Structure 1
Amino acid sequence: MSSIQPPTLSFEVFPPQSPADRAALLTTLDQLRGCHPAFVSVTYTNHQLDYEQATLGLAQTVQARVGCPVMVHLLAAYTSKTQVSRILADLESLGVTQILGLRGDLDPGQTPGADFPHASDLIRFIKARNPQFRLAGAGYPAGHPESPTREADLAHLQEKVAAGCDRVMTQVFYDNQQFDRFRADCAARDITVPILAGILPILSRQQALRVETDFGARLPQPLRTRLDRVWDDPVAFRAVGLDYAVEQINDLVAHGVAGIHLFTLNQASTVAAIYARTAALFEK
């Protein structure tokens, strides 16, 4: 029997905005239960939402419905030390011990707080106050859009790891060579924590048009060509997007990725389609 551990498989969901969205999310969570995830992450993308209701409420639902560890997103830019201390206490009471520390998008109409200018400041604060929490930080294979250079971006990642991150979770990407370069650059800087690859299937024309602006993720020409061929056929378009995601995952696993983190968009059908074709890659 091989002693090599298979990669982890995890999923991301986000708080629903309507009763219909909640019903769809519950179906997705039921689907996730059969995928045996290492953890499910719960986003918090809008600092104007009520964190306890949106993120902590969903974390409880995931624990009850999926029965796996939960990782919650926590944003630095608009959060104070007092708020974080209260949230950490709430997380402890819920049995949630994993956090993805992010700076968060800046709102042009609102001044960010002074306590945590960067994700590394938030991570350092949590690790000093509650060292039992497992902390993850974000990595950017294409480089963070606000970083002046790739070297500056990698230096920021080093700061997050030094502050207490035990894992890196990447922004979405569609060129595995870009991920390979990022992983090599991390190794050259002695960033040795596991790097989980963020995968977001492109399932619609609207999504294809948005990924570069929303995520800074470049679509490689072979993928563009395949999508162009089915641009006016939504069913075929979705099939091509799913095929490409599966190909990405197979290639990443073949090259020793530590884990795959699948952005579900709360769609059960996407989870089912990809897991059916990749489950054997994650079996112990």
Structure 2
Amino acid sequence: MKIKNLFSEKNVVFSLEVFPPKSTTPIENIYKTLDELKDLKPDYISVTYGAGGTSSGNKTCELSSLIKNKYNIEALAHLTCINSTKETIENTLKNLKDNNIENVLALRGDIPLDQKPIGDYNYGFELVDYIKKHHDFSIAAACYPEGHTESISLDKDIERLKQKVDCGTDYLISQLFFDNNLFYEFNDKINKKNINVPIQAGIMPVINKKQIERIVSLCGASLPPKFIKIMNRYEHDKNALRDAGIAYAVEQIVDLVSSGVKGIHLYTMNNPYVARKINESIKSIIGSVNNDLAI
């Protein structure tokens, strides 16, 4: 099933994201994670591509196939272009198709730190355009409520986003954020630019201080005073900080769903416990909103 169709069937689409294990980590670890996540019955599960712009030994297709063909959950395979040739991209798309994967998240990807990009495509909209013209996938793309870290301004970033949508993007998944007001303001801005495809809000529960510091350094997400106060209060108590991070994410999601967001995309960080706790708190809320569609 093409994920784009879910947005006409449900008021709120709920999905999870996992990432392939590092080459030094046994692949069996992610199998255990997926075994636990499947019981949450998400609308789909996305699988990230190689971090840092790498694609060597990538397990995205393998895990996407497992999700789709073993667990019967729709899979969204991430695909980056900045460090891939046309031939590599075409082979990957063929491999996905051969494994019954119908959904792709088209991304530029991280520019490699230690080498020049070798890709034939330098921007996400170019990858969207190629897939749309040559294949029959449902295409998702990323959006950045606070602007991409490499963009000179949010307005300029929205111009790039419009290109991706005009080239055939079916729906968007947002970068993580911790202040819902920034997400709402972003929605207002893109609506004025006639970007009207559904957007899922990307939510990441932060469960340790090291994770916070890494997130901020990578994506530039701003931390509201309320969030900082919570993190500072519980940073030396592992369990308290974990539970506070879960509670903060749940509060975000409840507010977003109540405000009419079309989807929630939960960055699980391969942590089934955290995903399960959040799901337990929000499933009746999302279920209630989706039941309204049937009335």
Unaligned runs of 5+ in 1: none
Distance in 1 separating the partners of 2:48 and 2:230: 31
One-letter code of the match for 1:76?
C
- Give the aligned residue type for 2:181: Q
Equivalent residues in 2 for 1:55-204, closer than 5 Å:
55-130=60-135, 132-204=136-208
Structure 2 Cα separation of the partners of residues 159 and 121 of structure 1: 9
Kindly indicate whether residue 69 of structure 2 is the aligned counterpart of residue 30 of structure 1.
no
Any conservation in 1 of the 2:54–2:112 contact (CA below 8 Å)? no
Read off the aligned partner of 1:97 and give its amino acid letter.
Answer: E
Whether 2:291 is the aligned partner of 1:281: answer no
Q: CA deviation at 1:28?
A: 2.3
2:61 and 2:265 map into 1 onto residues whose CA distance is: 20
Cα distance in 2 for residues equivalent to 1:143 and 1:44: 21
Q: Which amino acid aligns with 2:72?
A: G
> C-alpha deviations, 1:103-158, integer Å up to 9, x for none?
1111232111352010100110111011x211111100010011111111000000
> Which whole-Å CA distance do the structure 2 matches of 1:25 and 1:108 have between them?
27
TM-score by length of 2: 0.90
Tell me the CA shift for residue 63 of structure 1.
2.0
The 8 Å contact of residues 33 and 67 in structure 1, kept in 2 or not, is answered as no
Q: Which deviates the most, 99-108 or 24-33?
A: 24-33
Query: Structure 1: how far apart are the matches of 2:162 and 2:149?
Result: 17
In structure 2, C-alpha distance between the alignment counterparts of 1:282 and 1:65, rounded to whole Å: 26
C-alpha contact (below 8 Å) 2:67/2:73 kept by paired residues? yes
Aligned CA-pair RMSD:
1.8
Quick one: which amino acid aligns to residue 266 of structure 1?
A: N
Moved more, 31-40 or 89-98: 31-40
What is the aligned partner in structure 2 of residue 50 from structure 1?
A: 56
In terms of mean alpha carbon deviation, does 262-271 or 23-32 score higher? 23-32
Question: What residue identity is the alignment partner of 1:27?
Answer: K
Q: Distance in 1 between matches of 2:134 and 2:183?
A: 33
Over 4 Å off, 4+ runs: 18-21
Q: Which residue of 2 aligns with 1:6?
A: 11
1:40 aligns with 2:45: yes
Q: Which moved more, 1:79-88 or 1:4-13?
A: 4-13
Displacement of 1:20 in angstroms is 5.9
Aligned residues: 280
The equivalent residue for 1:214 is 218
Contact 1:31 / 1:271 at 8 angstroms: preserved in 2?
no
After TM superposition, give the deviation of residue 86 of structure 1 in Å.
1.3
State whether residues 128 and 164 of structure 2, in contact with CA within 8 Å, keep that contact through their aligned partners in structure 1: yes
Q: Secondary structure at the match of 1:193?
A: coil
State the AA in 1 paired with 2:84.
T
**Residues 105 and 114 from structure 1, CA distance in 2 versus in 1: closer, same or farther, beyond 3 angstroms?**
closer
Q: Report deviation, 1:65.
A: 4.2
How far apart, in 1, do the equivalents of 2:257 and 2:246 lie? 17
**AA paired with 2:285?**
L
Counterpart-to-counterpart distance in 2, 1:201 and 1:215: 15
